[in-house]
């Protein structure tokens, strides 16, 4: 059997999607793959506990705590400079030695990467995928579920449907090519929290299915070129 697809996961919080990936790799639902490392940008992210239980190395790397930006900085030029330096340093970490992955999965990663991170990984042929709780081209960025819900209540939501997608990551936020998409219908009388729960209940399944699809394509390509 060929070497497994090496997966690096980025997370910022609880890590429930990360846990779904751990379980799927363990069960073979994501076949011939191995999660080689977790990177978090929040020191108290519970995802690190999940990593420890699964025997997966993890690292905390933060924009402010690691000296890239002064806390409370408001100068737009300095803010952008700090992001560029942080992104470049993180790309260097990702590409270093034995930890170099075949696939990067953003599983609840609350930070937008710029070209200083994305370009070096693209040059190495490393795919980056992300889960976003909206349909392609709709509600990019933060509070996607809340904005869809407000449009539904105002009668402005197209076909009364929102959804989830897993997509490739590019510099334009949430605009990379979709890998898998699931539509979810909004319901009359439903509160925002109920819609959020229904959407979140499908996230694990979709991120696992997309990871298996992309990892399979990566391994097929590797095997053809060997």
Instruction: Check: CB of residue 34 under 8 Å from CB of residue 53.
Output: no
Question: Buried (b) or exposed (e) across 23-38, using 16+ Cβ within 10 A?
Answer: ebbeeeebeebebbbb
66 is catalytic: no
Which residues make beta-bridge pairs with 132?
165
CA distances to 10, 54, 132 from 114, rounded to whole Å, are 15, 30, 17
Phi (first) and psi of residue 53, to 5 degrees = -65, -30
What is the radius of gyration, based on Cα positions, of the chain? 18
In the set 132, 167, 200, 204, the catalytic residue is 132
Identify any residues that bridge with 60 across adjacent strands, giving them in sequence order: 40
End-to-end CA distance of the chain: 13
Distance CA 210, CA 110 (A): 20
Pair of tokens at residue 87: 């992104």
For the annotated catalytic residues, the residue numbers are: 132
């Amino acid at each position: 059997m060929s070497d497994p697809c090496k997966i690096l996961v980025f997370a910022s919080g609880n890590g429930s999607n990360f846990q779904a990936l751990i379980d799927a790799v363990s069960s073979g639902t994501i076949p011939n793959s191995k999660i080689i490392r977790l990177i978090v940008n929040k020191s108290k992210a519970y995802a690190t506990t999940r990593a420890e239980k699964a025997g997966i190395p993890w690292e905390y790397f933060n924009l402010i705590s690691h000296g890239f930006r002064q806390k409370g900085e408001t100068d737009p030029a300095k803010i952008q400079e700090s992001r560029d330096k942080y992104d470049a340093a993180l790309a260097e970490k990702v590409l270093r030695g034995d930890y170099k992955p075949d696939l990067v999965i953003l599983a609840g990663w609350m930070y937008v990467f710029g070209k200083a991170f994305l370009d070096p990984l693209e040059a190495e042929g490393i795919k980056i995928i992300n889960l976003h709780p909206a349909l392609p081209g709709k509600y990019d960025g933060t509070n996607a579920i809340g904005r869809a819900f407000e449009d539904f209540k105002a009668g402005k939501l197209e076909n009364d449907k929102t959804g989830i997608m897993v997509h490739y990551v590019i510099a334009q936020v949430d605009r990379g090519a979709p890998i898998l998409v699931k539509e979810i219908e909004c319901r009359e009388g439903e509160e925002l929290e109920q819609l959020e729960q229904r959407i979140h209940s499908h996230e694990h399944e979709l991120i696992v299915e997309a990871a298996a699809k992309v990892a399979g394509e990566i391994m097929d390509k590797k095997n053809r070129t060997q």
